[in-house]
Amino acid sequence: MLSDKVKNFCRQKGWWYDDASADYEAELVKLGIDIGSDCAEFYLHAEDGPTFSSGGHELYQLGWFSKNTKFDLALKRTHDTLGLSLDYIPLDSFEGESGYYYNSRTGEVLEISLGERLEAFKAGRLRPQWSNFNRFIEFYFKLG
């Protein structure tokens, strides 16, 4: 479940909608995201256009991207190129050869980059940096 800190931040920004988007719910289900997860709660209720921005880094609004782009092709390209399992859903466009990935099976979030970090992850030496989406989104928005 999302913390009040995240919800209040989104409300202050005018990004929080009490009614969940049925269209986005269908898209999240299609992506394999548990509707009861903190990740789904965020993407069903928070929106600031197609992306969120913090610290000069854009994060996808997954429901919007899945519905309005060829996100399935981006997923396939990401999984094929990086060799990540299908459980990992990109949360951004991997600009600067680095990106965030949500594990739809465990709820963890991983920041990965090309090179040593990707190789360490594939070899099992790198664990996701955030144990759940709520911790990640608090980090992303610098909510302390």
Encode the chain (144 residues) as per-residue pLDDT tens digits: 999 999 999 999 999 999 998 999 999 999 999 999 999 999 999 999 999 999 889 999 999 999 999 999 888 888 888 888 889 999 998 877 788 999 999 999 999 888 776 777 777 777 889 999 999 999 999 998
pTM equals: 0.91
Q: Residue holding tokens 């608090």? A: 138
Q: DSSP letters of 59-100?
A: EE-HHHHHHHS-HHHHHHHHHHHH---TTEEESS--GGGEEE
How many distinct structural domains can be found in the chain? 1
Domain CATH for 49? 3.40.1580
State the residue range of the domain holding 58. Answer: 4-140
Give the tokens for residue 123: 């070899």
